[in-house]
Amino acid sequence: MNNATSTPDLSALVIDDEPQIQRLLATVLEANRYRVTTANSGREGLSTISKQRHDLIILDLGLPDITGLAVLKQIREWTQAPVVILTVQDSEAEKIEALDCGADDYVTKPFSSGELLARLRAAVRRADRGKAEEPLLRFGNITVNLAARLVTRENLAVKLTSTEYALLRLFVQHAGNVLTHKQVLREVWGPEHEQKTQYLRVYVQRLRDKLEPNPNSPVYFLTESGIGYRFSAS
């Protein structure tokens, strides 16, 4: 799963008005066996999407004609293809809004190509996964058996409360993907609790205490500052 060589070429659409970024993305993506189409503006992007199917869309939020968010909302009216947004630091509110509007992930400029490719793979995987659920997941010395509802660490069962388990399950099912606070709270505690970030803070810390090799320097349950969390199995 570490590169695209074993899978057929994926078609990627890049919507960005900066020629320099377009060229860079095209070089990186083509080197990793994506077929790349570029669009210079939100409108051009939308018209390209309406004519042609894409496996993946990379969308810059700072477009000259329509806001990236408006483009995103319109994309989501037509297609569920994974969308990864390009954005800058200190635009947390915008990132959250985009993720809650259906973006799959984001990459903050300046980004490394490794980071970008990892996000794209995770986003494509999320879109492919659909119904098929892997019953057994391993990360480090931890196994999560979703079928048996069993979590072990170094082959010893880890005791989790039902809420902790629900949270862990959500995280491992979305391995590699960012989840906003609101998304997690809605899934685990229900829509009426989606503002109660404190629940999430406390429970993530509990999962870290039980499952991280070093809870103070987490490698699995990663904080996305001001946005949410990302579970990383690698």
Closest residue by Cα to residue 46 from 87, 18, 96, 81: 81
Of 24 and 101, CB closest to other proteins: 24
The nearest distance, CB 28 to other proteins, in angstroms, is 6
110 near other proteins, rule: CB under 8 A: yes
Does 216 participate in binding other proteins (rule CB under 8 A)?
yes
- Of 35, 73, 149, 196, the one binding other proteins (CB under 8 A) is 196
Q: Which is nearer to other proteins, 139 or 189 (CB)?
A: 189
Size of site (CB under 8 A) for other proteins: 38
Is 217 an interacting residue with respect to other proteins (CB under 8 A)? yes
With both helix axes pointing from N to C terminus, report the angle between 68-78 and 92-100 in degrees, rounded to the nearest 10.
10
- Token output for 74: 């319109």
For residue 171, CA distances in Å to 81, 95, 142 come to: 21, 19, 14
Contact characters 25-64, other proteins, x per CB under 8 A: --xx--x------------------------------x-x
Between 61 and 123, name the residue whose CB sits nearer to other proteins.
61
114 binds other proteins (CB under 8 A): yes
CB-wise, 50 or 89, nearer to other proteins? 89
Contact residues for other proteins, defined by CB under 8 A: 18, 20-21, 24, 27-28, 31, 62, 64, 88-90, 92-93, 109-114, 161, 163, 181, 189, 196-199, 201-202, 204-205, 216-218, 223, 225-226
